[in-house]
Structures are given as structure tokens and as C-alpha cells.
Amino acid sequence: MESAIQVKKVKIDYKRFEEGFHEDMLSSPNPVRKWFHNSKNELVLHTLKKYSAQNSTIVDLGCGTVNWNTEMIPVIGIDLNKNMLQKAAREGRLSSFKVAPVERTGLESGMADIVVISEVLEHITAYGKAIMEIRRILKPGGICISTVPYDTTLSMWKPLFALQCFLHGTILGNEYFKNEAGHVNHFSPQTIARAFSRANFQVVEQFDNIRFTIFTVSRKK
């Protein structure tokens, strides 16, 4: 399989989400959901610190409220949701931000040492364009830290996500979960690694959070 499996297009207006959308997940009464989001954020921060230097220019694409940044590291945020960006900046998790799609950030070419893109590529039909934009804004040798759901039959994530969509979407009528939370791509470790390799990245590290989340660290060649 050469690329992620794509599903139907869905129309979800991310610009209209409440600014506290991601914080609600972090404090969810569902212990598995709460663990999933908090542990993912902790691993993003840990991985970033592993690859960053003191003066690294860091960009987070599709950043939302940047909840992984508990240490208030200087980060440039790109997102469609202005309210989330303003909240993150107000609370010290962003040093600056720009309202833009991740495929067309408008940032200067070669300006970033590290790009973080966490739980975003599964929402983008033309995810290859987003990866090429990451390549454009990274310096030579720059690092991309990406995370996507571990969306395969034998993963831990997929059956629990299907149950959540059934409960909240089919039973309770939540439109967000009726549309599979806006997920249009299904990634495995192999398909996300190939997506970066095709864009002339070297995958330097890949690991998973007990088969819930795939972390892929790639270096721009």
C-alpha cells in the first residue's frame, strides 16, 4: 500500500470550534480519552526537546491551543482557528501566530529548524501538499515531528475510536462524530513513513504510544 487509505470528504468548519475544545479533551471524564490526549502531548514535548536546540525556530502547524507546550517554549503557530491561536498566545504557549491553512502557511522558505504537526494529516485530503509545505519552510537538515492515529485493524486506537463515533455520533447525534471527527485518511506506520520519504525526507525515528498514536520524526534531506 503506497499511501494512506482515504475515506469520504467531510465538511467540518474548524474555524468555528470553541477555543476550549482541546482543553475539554484533556480533562475528559472518559479516562481513556483523557490519558490519550495528555500522554500524546507529553510525548510531543519530550520528542521536541530531544531534537531542538536552545535557539531553534519551531513552527506548529494546525496547532490549536498548543497544549503540549507546557514549558512555554517559543513557538510560531499556524491554524485556521483564530480564537484558539489567541488563547494559546495569551497563555504563553505561542510566541507568534498566523491564521492560515497548513498547506499554504505564507511563512518564509527555510525559516524553521523544527516543524510539529500533531493529529492534523489525517484531516487533510491532500496531505501530500501539507508535507511539501513542511519541506519548504524547513531549513536543510530540519526536523519534522508528526503524529497521526494508529489507524489499522490491529491497533489499540481504531476500535475505541469506532466505538466513540458510534456512541457520540450514531446514538447521541453529535455531527462531529457522525463525520468520524473529520478524519479523511487512515495511516499505518508504513504509509506515513512513505509519505515523508516520497517528499525527500529521511525518517530518522518512528515509534508509537502503545498502538494509539504513530510518531514519525523526519529530517529534510
| Number of other CB atoms surrounding residue 117 within 10 Å | 25
Q: What is the pLDDT of residues 116-135, one digit of tens each?
A: 999 999 999 889 999 999 99
Q: In which band, very low, low, confident or very high, does the pLDDT at 68 lie, cut at 50, 70 and 90? A: very high
> Which domains are present in the chain?
5-151+183-220 (3.40.50.150)
Pairing of strands 138-149, 213-220: antiparallel
Instruction: Please report, as a single letter, which amino acid is at residue 189.
Output: P
CA-based end-to-end distance of the chain: 24
Q: What is the pLDDT of residues 97-112, one digit of tens each?
A: 999 999 999 999 999 9
pLDDT, the chain, mean: 92
User: Residue 4: what pLDDT?
Assistant: 66
Instruction: Tell me the three cell numbers of residue 8.
Output: 469520504
Q: What is the DSSP letter of 107?
A: P
